[in-house]
Amino acid sequence: MKILLIIFAILAVGVAIYFYNLLTGRITDTDGDLIPDVIEDKIVEIKEEATAIKEATKKKAVKVKKAVKKGISEVSDVVAKPKRGRPAGSKNAPKK
């Protein structure tokens, strides 16, 4: 029970410090949603970076897909069908 009261006291002090800084102008909040503008700006930047990374990854995946298809077609050209019959060095090769 004492631990719970200590946790609530720490939270209450943190909230009080936050609102004091908000009211004195040290923390700016122009839209009034109680989220500092600095944090909102940083979230927008992170979303833009994530979108750019996502687009770059999609482009790279398309390139890799094309390269794999090309590689598969080249491998299928190189690999020949096996000849029928016995191999030249086998024990059961026909004698001359």
**Is 57 a domain residue?**
yes
**Is 21 a domain residue?**
yes
pLDDT 10s digits, 25-73: 888 888 888 889 999 999 999 999 999 999 999 999 999 999 999 888 8
**Is 30 a domain residue?**
yes
pLDDT band per the 50, 70, 90 thresholds, residue 91: low
**Is 2 a domain residue?**
no
Q: Number of folded domains in the chain?
A: 1
Q: What is the pTM of this model?
A: 0.55
**Is 91 a domain residue?**
no
Query: Nearest 10 degrees: CA dihedral of 43, 45, 49, 51?
Result: 70
**Is 96 a domain residue?**
no
The boundaries of the domain holding residue 28 are: 9-78
**Is 84 a domain residue?**
no
**Is 24 a domain residue?**
yes
